[in-house]
Chains A and B, each alone.
Chain A
């Protein structure tokens, strides 16, 4: 009995969670895919009618805005967060005083909920309450900073808030990476008289390639599924200028009773996530097989 238990315990322990994942993750992905091929409106229907929902989706100007925003937001959010994160990490790595305290300060935004970040930035960016009115009250009466109410620039305010939230976390990732670089190599380079800047660009940063990849994956999926930040910061507005695929899906499913449309947009979002994650998994698995 105890032998049997010992042998099968891992399976017994893992079984329920495996079952739950198969049902609640993959099962419902399949269900959503099915619904996306039907004419479901208020309630799910199960007669497959083909690609109607997808053609409606790609005809919708609002979805076009949402996808464009995803690429603008995703690209800038990932790029700026990584750049700022790396820069702060390198500065903190200069054996400065009170590094622990500074590190905590930079990491702290990550501890906030995105709703808090969004609401705070909504007030900071509001031209009548925040930055613009403060600078104006200092005497610079021509100063304008009204991106949050300008449909062409509103998406960049989401980038600002997102970067503020995430770059501290990226900094922590990079700092760990910097610390794990072999100190012997760096000392050898210093003895050879290589300038510090060159040590970073030629030795340290290239040896941190895996950290870049992890940071990219974390940020990319944050970008694709962002929802609460937009809801709190702009509510998708002005108009629907800052809609993202996730907010589009929510509107269709829960406000407009258009489940088929919501399902098709969810499937497209999933494909975008796959496009990012699959190459990563592929490279990871291949590396393991090589070893």
Chain B
């Protein structure tokens, strides 16, 4: 009896194995773009993929800013069945490469001239030991300052060009009962403001030494003390109820004139636009005071897959992601700008034009820098150690000197 069953099982599995002949490119895609605008953006890619003869298996895992997706990914990789493409960014791409999980897509990159059309520092994130292993989707700028146009003009202020100017404007507005800075007291938002301040006060070289190289000299420098001093001043500009507030509620405060400024990446623009506000008229966008450009690049890392259908699917996907059409449509939906520098920006708004121009200029000038707060510059443990210090300082009465000492110690401990 048992023998008969065993024979039957083996027979059917053989038939299955034989019957799975090549059926066109296939790709399973793990991502956490599940909210309105984001889901729409992914659907664009999905459509393009199937128009090119591919069959797409969607694997959206929502929750925890990607934490849930990463847990799913770990389980999949451990069981030897990784998805073809995974929404990953920054050094975590290289971290997965070191685990031996990523595929080499250099052939696609070469054929489509990626090294010509992508800024050098962004292309660097997509390579693992010189080989291409990921495809960039978009560029979010972090060091934006958003303002309510009528609050500024009715009080006779313009966009601040220096941090001193920002402080003076903020104090004057505060005296009139307007909240100068809309902010949400969540660790990542504290870190977002912190890195904009650090870039503004310390400059691009300082930022690179401190938050990319983790150079002790820069971390302990007087400049870092000054950065924390400015953070202490900023703490005075937020309202009393900021604790735990979500970033989009802070954006709403700027929208309705309750607050004047917000420092936040360009996903905040999406909120303004969704509320029917017009850039340049209802709200203003400008880079935070100082030089440089902090980017947060979303990308898809390509994992090792078995079988020619899956490998072909992966290559097709990589080609489409960096393709001009997807880069344009996706970024129009998401509020960011294309990672490719040769996409026409005719349909994009004023803020996106500013962003693209600044990106090209800073790429040439060497001040195009990865955002530490959004996981582009450092690995999770080190970035987390910095954020711990920043948020502990911002939410207490710690002195700037103590904060610097704590920062150095926390980074040592995270290695």
Contacts and interface: CB of A to CB of B under 8 A. Distances in A.
Interface string B155-190: 000000000000000000000000000000111001
A177 interface: no
Interface stretch (B14-22, B314-322, B344-352, B380-388): B380-388
B153 interface: no
Nearest to B77: A43
Interface stretch (A4-12, A77-85, A104-112, A251-259): A251-259
A128 B380 contact: no
B187 A254 contact: no
Contact of B396 (A122, A127, A151, A257): A151
Given A41-B95, A42-B99, A43-B78, A239 B391 contact: yes
B392 interface: yes
A128 B78 CA distance: 47
Nearest to B98: A42
B388 A62 contact: yes
Contacts of A41: 95, 379, 381
A221 to B, nearest CB: 25
Contacts of B298: none
Q: For chain B, what secondary structure do more than half of its interface residues adopt (helix, strand, loop), or is it mixed?
A: helix
Contacts of A59: 409, 413
Contacts of B185: 149, 237-238
B384 A255 contact: yes
Contacts of B186: 235, 237
A34 to B, nearest CB: 15
A257 B95 contact: yes
B245 to A, nearest CB: 9
A16 interface: no
B267 interface: no
B42 interface: no
Contacts of B392: 61-62, 239-241
Contacts of B395: 151, 237-239, 241
A235 B406 CA distance: 22
A87 B406 CA distance: 45
Interface of B: 64-65, 67-68, 70-71, 74, 77-78, 92, 95-96, 99, 185-187, 190, 239-244, 379-381, 383-384, 388, 391-396, 406, 409-410, 413-414
Interface of A: 41-43, 56, 59-62, 122, 126-129, 146, 148-149, 151, 234-241, 251, 254-258, 261
Give 7 nearest A-B pairs by CB, closest first: A128-B241, A239-B395, A238-B395, A256-B380, A149-B243, A239-B391, A257-B380
25 contacts: A41-B379, A42-B74, A61-B392, A62-B392, A122-B244, A126-B241, A146-B240, A151-B395, A151-B396, A237-B185, A238-B391, A239-B190, A239-B388, A239-B393, A239-B395, A240-B388, A254-B67, A254-B68, A255-B64, A255-B380, A255-B384, A257-B95, A257-B380, A257-B381, A258-B414
